Each structure stands twice: as structure tokens, then as C-alpha cells.
A and B are shown apart, each in its own frame.
Chain A
């Protein structure tokens, strides 16, 4: 039998299964909480910090996606302080690399852009770093643009956990961190890449896109990870 716990979410008593994360429960309750690195069907990374919530008794905000529910937990999701911290996170992401929305392939279809709009980020208080970053267009069908990458690792996880190829990885530390393909050889030379395109579809920004797409032309199909997982686990193949 499944263990059920009760917690307080924004002042309301809520029941949850003990194996759920806080983010699961928050989304079940139709509370709008922004995320960038989370993707239903993939393991959690807890890296983007947009889903931070206030847990009573905890010394600092907790990322809801990697926090298991516990009995008696008291959680708040939208305090002014949390909203402030979410805005800072988005501004830091925008300042770190070259996110030029106006000329981006996913302008209008970008998770980062929408997170900024939703959180009311209308300017960035930090100095833009404008790093000199490369693009890898060696693959026949897809392009990697480091200028737009936010290091959410959705590509790494979907390639490893769903496609089973593990072409993508992370190299470097801190500001020098980059996503790489096959020990940092050009994507087009990768012997492990199956060209399935899952990484491109789950990428929240314009960092991975289909060759030939120009400004605002690239839209992404995000639901397919759920379809595949449901098919594999429940034998329900629908899309």
C-alpha cells in the first residue's frame, strides 16, 4: 500500500504520495511554478533553481523538483522573496551568454524567454558578459549554439535516459562549462549519435535547433518524452 503524507501548501492542506516530489504535488495542485531544467519523464537535476520554494524550518529555499514530500511539511511557493530570487536567476542566465531574443531561432517559443516574461523581467541588472562562444553546425540535421545554452542538461539526460545513446555530456567547470558530444568531438563526427533529435526537442532555448530554421521559425515538441515513457511503462502508445 502506498504511504500518504499530508502537507500544507500555501496555507491549504494537501495529500500526497510519499514518493512524490514537492514539484509533482505543486503542479498537481495547479500552482504555476516556473522550471527550466525539469522535464517530465527525465531524472531531476535541481540546477536551474527557478522552482525554489520556502519550506518551514529549512535554512534556505529548496528546489521543489528535488525535495521529497514529508509529513507535516509547510511550504510556500510565491513569497515576494522567492519571486525576487527567481527573477535574479533569470537575469543571471540572460547575462551569462548571448541570448539575443530578437534574432534567435526560437524567438516566441523559448522557455527562458517565457520565464522572463512571466516573472516580469523587463531588464537585466547584471553586466552582460558577452562571451565569445562557438556554434557546432557539423551535424547534417542539427546545430548546437553555445550562445543560447543555459546548461539545463535536458539534452544530456534525454539522450542517456530515453534514447540510450549518451552522446551528450558536460565538460569544464563554472563559467567554462559546455555541453559536448562524444568527448568533445564535432557533433557531425559523433559515432554514438543516432540523429534522433530528442535533444533538440527538449532543449528549452535556441541552443539546439534544426538546420535551416531561421529567426522564430523553430518550434519544439516537448510532449513526446511523456508519450515514450507512457508507452514503455504502460504500453499505451498514443500521441
Chain B
């Protein structure tokens, strides 16, 4: 049996969901018998592959880079999993939405800076007007809420997806879990 291709992507999140993914611990060995991890912040492939079976997306869509990345990821993924509250609800990153981008950027790059306060003009991707959950931008196949979802929840969901089943999300996790 050929192995399925698994990718993980990190948008606007704290990496806690990836930490929780790593907390699968020795069961990762079980997992990699069934899947190849073809793209992830945890491995060293630079480009998102053409055909991925399952992609876990951590984080909300907050800047231009996130926006382009998630569209590309969706186009090359069979099953897209919104992993954790930031991907599912936009969560903490979206707490800037009531204030607007200008205030947020000013706060970060001018008000709180002691040496040479200035707004970035290159390398830093421009922030979107509003932070949005992943399903606001592209179709999501499975929502796995939690902050972060527990390792058990992530593992159970992955096992279900690998075996071609729909994970029973309500039994595994919830918002804020």
C-alpha cells in the first residue's frame, strides 16, 4: 500500500497546535507507517507539493502571505483540516479586528519601539484588514477546534482520516479545549 501524503502548515498561530501534534509522541512512529510527512515547519521541504492527501492548517489568515499560502495549499490538498481555534475561529489573532490595522501596526512598530520606530516597507507581509478563519477563505473539510486540540484528539482525527472515515470531532475536542 502506498503511503498517504501528510502536510502541516503554520499560518497566524502560536505553534501550540504543532507542539500538540508533536505530543503524539511515540504514536508518530505508528503514523509514519501510514503517511509520509511531505511538508511542514517540522521538516525541511521548501515547496508545497503538488498532490497532498491531508493537510493540517494551524493559524488564522492574517496577512497577504497567509492568504496566498492557504489558496495554494487548498488547490493541492485532498482533505484540508483546520487545526485548532485560530484556524477554526480566528481566535486570539482576530482580537485585533475591532481596532483596525493602522492602530495595530502603529502600536507594534512605533509606540512600543524605543530605537528608530518605523513602519516596515519590505520583507514583512502586509496585514489583511481583518483576520479570518480558514473556512472564510477556502473550503475546509474537517474542523478540529481546541487551543490547542489535545494530542489524543489530533491522533484520533488523523487515524480516522487515514482510514477513510470522518472523525467524530464533537467527541474529541471543543472550542477552547
Asked if A127 CB lies within 8 Å of chain B CBs, one says yes
Asked, given contacts A122-B170, A123-B133, whether A100 binds B143 with beta carbons under 8 Å apart, the answer is no
| B36-44, B51-59, B87-95, B118-126 - the one binding chain A | B87-95
Interface size class of B (residues with CB under 8 A): 20 to 34
The answer to whether B91 and A102 touch across the interface, beta carbons within 8 angstroms, is: yes
The answer to whether A113 and B92 touch across the interface, beta carbons within 8 angstroms, is: no
List residues 77-91 of chain B with CB under 8 A from any CB of chain A. 82, 85, 88-91
Bound complex: CA of A102 vs CA of B59, how far in Å?
Answer: 13
Asked if A185 CB lies within 8 Å of chain B CBs, one says no
Asked if B130 CB lies within 8 Å of chain A CBs, one says yes
Contact flags (1/0) for B156-177 with A, using CB distance below 8 Å?
Answer: 0000000000000110001110
Total chain A interface residues with beta-carbon distance under 8 A:
25
Asked, given contacts A102-B147, A122-B144, whether A130 binds B98 with beta carbons under 8 Å apart, the answer is yes
Asked, given contacts A123-B82, A123-B143, A130-B94, whether A101 binds B135 with beta carbons under 8 Å apart, the answer is no
Residue numbers of B with Cβ under 8 A of A are 82, 85, 88-92, 94-95, 97-99, 130, 132-133, 135-136, 140, 143-145, 147, 169-170, 174-176
Sample of 19 further A-B pairs with CB below 8 A, known A117-B170, A128-B94: A94-B89, A94-B175, A100-B89, A100-B92, A101-B85, A102-B85, A102-B91, A102-B147, A103-B92, A107-B176, A110-B176, A117-B175, A122-B144, A122-B174, A123-B89, A123-B145, A128-B90, A128-B97, A131-B98
| 5 contacts across the A-B interface (CB closer than 8 A) | A101-B176, A116-B174, A117-B175, A122-B88, A123-B135
